Amino acid sequence: MLTIKNLHAEVEGKKILKGINLEINKGEMHAIMGPNGSGKSSLASVLAGRDNYTVTEGEVWFNGKNLLDLSPEDRAREGVFLAFQYPVEIPGVSNLNFLKTALNEIRAYKGLPALEAREFLKLTKEKQQLVDFHSNLMNRSLNEGFSGGEKKRNEIFQLAMLDPQLAILDETDSGLDIDALRIVSNGVNKLRDAEKSFVVITHYQRLLEYIIPDFVHVLYNGRIIKTGTKELALELEERGYDWLKEELHLKESV
Amino acid sequence: MTSDMILPFYQALTADVTALAAQATVPSTDAVQSIRRKALERFTAMGLPTLKTEAWRYSNIQRYLKEFPYELLNNAAPVAPTVAQQAAIPELDCYRVVLVNGHLQADQSTLPEGKGITIGAMSTYADAPGFVTYFNQQHHLETESLAQLNTALFADGLYIELAANTVLDKPIHVIHVYSCTAHSFIQPRHLWVLNRSAAATIIESSVHPETTAVAFANSVVETVVQENAELWHYCVQQGEDSFREVSTTAAQQFKDSRYHHFSVTLPGTPFTRNNTSVALNGSHTETNLNGLYITNKHQHVDNHTFMDHIMPDCNSNELYKGVLLDDSNGVFTGKILVHQEAQKTNAFQQNNNLLLGSKADINSQPQLEIYADDVKCSHGFTAGQFSEESMFYLRSRGIGEEAAKALMVNAFSHDITDAIHVPALQHFLQEQIAEIMNN
């Protein structure tokens, strides 16, 4: 589904990603971990098409299409979704209107007619329950005055509504209390199926107790330096990242 | 000789002042005639505004007056009802007043009726108590030469007076039709009086039938909001390319009254100047001046406001928001004068702009003159572009760039549109904004 080959990217002339290789197949759950500043969120941004990043080398293929050639909106319409680490507040744009516009733009791209009001509301009700997203938040301005947990729940709610093939969760767990973390993780788990793939970027192993990954990758200094299964996450929790860094330096100095 | 005197229009105006005044047949009571004569004197003394006139520094009205050889037009040829219909607001349950060049078209209008309601042509009500008491009494008009010109030479307009405790059950939609076969300068004059505890909503729209003749309107509305009365006053400006406008609204408020004024200017008319002034002649009043201008091409929109805090314990809130596309430019002047007696005044003013055109610009100047020492006053100004982070957020959800911009403009204007208390009008304007941004 997604193939990343030797991806290099920089922001304001500073090299951030230095040759990422990653293959994600249908239905897989990948976790990307790594210390601060390793390039985790940058990878998410590059995949979603944030324009202050410049890709200097490498390729990204999504279902046979060159993802890097597409505008952010076309990436979303093709089925890539980024749950933001810091969701933006947009006063004056109602959540409901925003979602309706997004959904219908994606449908139009696929040649589908706009959803009728009743169908849209039905869908909304159904998906709201997934993340316990209160109806009164729906009519409010997009994320305006939402608590941290409400914002993250809104991201997962949008994910449920837009039903992408690939969802990238950028530190969705950061700043959540344990109850909110459970709600968000439950929502994600309910959305897992054989067709949908996830990339979960996290700083904390805690999330992976709730969302069980198929693969765990460690990103360090703009590269994936180790790939393993969920056990790797536990090891990282116990031992930190230093042993990996040492391993890497040993390898590189040889 | 100042530059304005070489304008053919000005020469025509001053060549035979008496003949011009005679053209304006009504109203012609002695009192009105005397007011007209004084106004004409003031106008000739002041002349037309130039760029050297402080209040007109950023609006070169001369340029627009020179564009075409305007003639003064005082009468109105019949206009088909379909013309006024163009300004209709869908789903709006309202009374309707159609004026052609200021002249009431009774056959096209549905006027409110009942005890306490006086409504009709200015010419028929020159003896009405409200007219006698309030006509041309808002002293701010004296410093504006075009308002003086209007006073001197206006032909007709709409008179409304609501007796004490009269509350209109529906809004009145006033549709100004400007119709001419040659390039014309048209000057309607209106006076709307709400007596004690009366309440009304008045929505103004204008329409200029498709024609090659250009209409330049110099209109004046005087509103009086007496003790504990409340007036919601909406001005919707979506003029045509062949229309130019100087629109003066002079309000007087008395004790405990509420006045809510909205001026919404959308693309179309190349030149719009709105003079909006409120004189607070009583205490404990509330005033909301709301403005929204969305401009494109070479459009020029100038909102000139004056909040005159004469009495203590009054509250005024001014919010003007602009979205400037293409090469359009905006001007905002917000004068707040707090007299020494006007203690405990709360006067706030804000002007926010989205500059979206590469050559769009905004000139904004707050003018606060405060002579009382126990007041709360503030003003603020912003000009900026869309937040990149917000744009990216919307686009990352599959929303195209244009649709995202439309959403953002709607969001930017929402604190104005949200304050509109007539749902049909609110919906209509939101749709109009979306349509402008989608084109």
Residue A101: is its pLDDT beyond 80? yes
Asked whether residue B188 is domain-assigned, the answer is yes
> What residues of B are in contact with residue A109 (Cβ under 8 Å)?
398
- Average pLDDT over chain B, rounded to an integer: 92
β-partners of residue B264 are B236, B292
Residue of B nearest to A44 (CA): B396
Q: Which of A71-85, A123-137, A205-219 tops mean pLDDT?
A: A71-85
Q: At A38, list the tokens.
A: 């390793």
Asked whether residue B288 is domain-assigned, the answer is no
Q: How confident is the model at residue B1, as a pLDDT?
A: 39
What is the domain range of residue B182?
8-282
* CA pair distance A216, A209, nearest whole angstrom: 13
User: What single-letter DSSP state applies at residue B123?
Assistant: G
Residue type, B47: G
Among B126, B277, B135, CA closest to B193: B135
Asked whether residue B302 is domain-assigned, the answer is no
Q: How confident is the model at residue B220, as a pLDDT?
A: 98
B330-343 tens-digit pLDDT = 999 999 999 999 99
User: What single-letter DSSP state applies at residue B433?
Assistant: H
| C-alpha distance from residue A4 to each of A20, A75, A90, A200, A239 (Å) | 7, 15, 32, 16, 29
User: What stretch of H or E contains B347?
Assistant: strand B346-355
CATH 3.40.50.300 fits A2-248, yes or no: yes
> What residues of B are in contact with residue A161 (Cβ under 8 Å)?
none
B283-324 tens-digit pLDDT = 999 999 999 999 999 999 999 999 999 999 999 999 999 999
Asked whether residue B326 is domain-assigned, the answer is no
Q: How confident is the model at residue B249, as a pLDDT?
A: 98
B98-157 tens-digit pLDDT = 999 999 999 999 999 999 999 999 999 989 999 999 999 999 999 999 999 999 989 899
- Compute the CA torsion angle B50, B56, B57, B58 (nearest 10 deg): -120
Residue B9: is its pLDDT beyond 60? yes
Q: How confident is the model at residue B30, as a pLDDT?
A: 84
**Secondary structure class of B141 (helix, strand, coil):** helix
Q: How confident is the model at residue A202, as a pLDDT?
A: 92
Asked whether residue B39 is domain-assigned, the answer is yes
Of A51, A92, A162, the CB nearest to B398: A162
User: What stretch of H or E contains B70?
Assistant: none
Residue of B nearest to A74 (CA): B398
Asked whether residue B238 is domain-assigned, the answer is yes
Q: How confident is the model at residue A237, as a pLDDT?
A: 84
pTM for the structure as a whole: 0.86
Q: Got the DSSP string for chain A?
A: -EEEEEEEEEETTEEEEEEEEEEE-TT-EEEEE--TTSSHHHHHHHHHT-TTEEEEEEEEEETTEEGGGS-HHHHHHHTEEEE-SSPPPEEEEEHHHHHHHHHHHHHHHTTPPPPPHHHHHHHHHHHHHHTT--HHHHTSEETTT--HHHHHHHHHHHHHHH--SEEEEESTTTT--HHHHHHHHHHHHHH--SS-EEEEE-S-TTHHHHS--SEEEEEETTEEEEEE-HHHHHHHHHH-SHHHHHHHHHHHH-
**Selected residue with higher pLDDT from B23 and A61:** A61
- Average pLDDT over chain A, rounded to an integer: 92
Burial class of residue B132 in the structure, from the number of CB atoms within 10 Å of its CB (0-12 exposed, 13-18 middle, 19+ buried) = middle
Asked if A97's CB is within 8 angstroms of B396's CB, the reply is no
> What residues of A are in contact with residue B394 (Cβ under 8 Å)?
90, 93, 98, 102
Asked whether residue B50 is domain-assigned, the answer is yes
Residue B8: is its pLDDT beyond 70? no
Q: How confident is the model at residue B37, as a pLDDT?
A: 87
Establish if B387 touches chain A: CB-CB under 8 angstroms. Answer: yes
Among B87, B95, B400, CA closest to B266: B87
Asked whether residue B190 is domain-assigned, the answer is yes
> What percentage of residues in chain B have a pLDDT greater than 70?
94
Residue A70: is its pLDDT beyond 90? yes
Residue B232: is its pLDDT beyond 80? yes
Mean pLDDT of B183-196: 96
**Selected residue with higher pLDDT from A237 and A113:** A113
